[in-house]
Amino acid sequence: MKDTERETIEMFIRIAVPRIFRDRANPIDILDDRAFRERFRLSRNGFYHVLGIVSEDLTPNTVRSASLPAALRLAIFLETIESANNQRITP
C-alpha cells in the first residue's frame, strides 16, 4: 500500500462521525389517558395489570441486553398487534 493511500485511509478514520441521538421519550409517560387507550387499546390500569403478569418474561436475563424496559417492550408489542388490526377506535 502506498503512503498516500495509507494517509488517505487514516484521514478518513480520524474524521469524527456525528452521533445521532434519537428521541427516546417514553409514550407511557407522555400520552394522556385517551391517547393511551387509542394507541394501546387498554387503559393504564389494564396495561399495568398485563405488565405485572408478563414482566418476568420480558425482562432479559443478562444486563447486556437491557436496553428497553419491560413496560416499553410491552407497549411496542401492543402497538404492533394493534396496528395489524383493521379496526381502530375513532373519537
pLDDT tens, position by position, 10-59: 777 777 667 777 776 788 888 999 999 988 888 999 999 999 999 888 87
Task: Enter the C-alpha cell of residue 80.
Answer: 404492533
d(Cα 12, Cα 42) in Å, to the nearest integer? 50
Please state whether the predicted TM-score (pTM) of the whole model is above 0.85.
no
More confident site: 78 or 89: 78
pLDDT of 15 reads: 72
User: Would you place residue 65 in the very low, low, confident or very high pLDDT band (cuts 50, 70, 90)?
Assistant: low
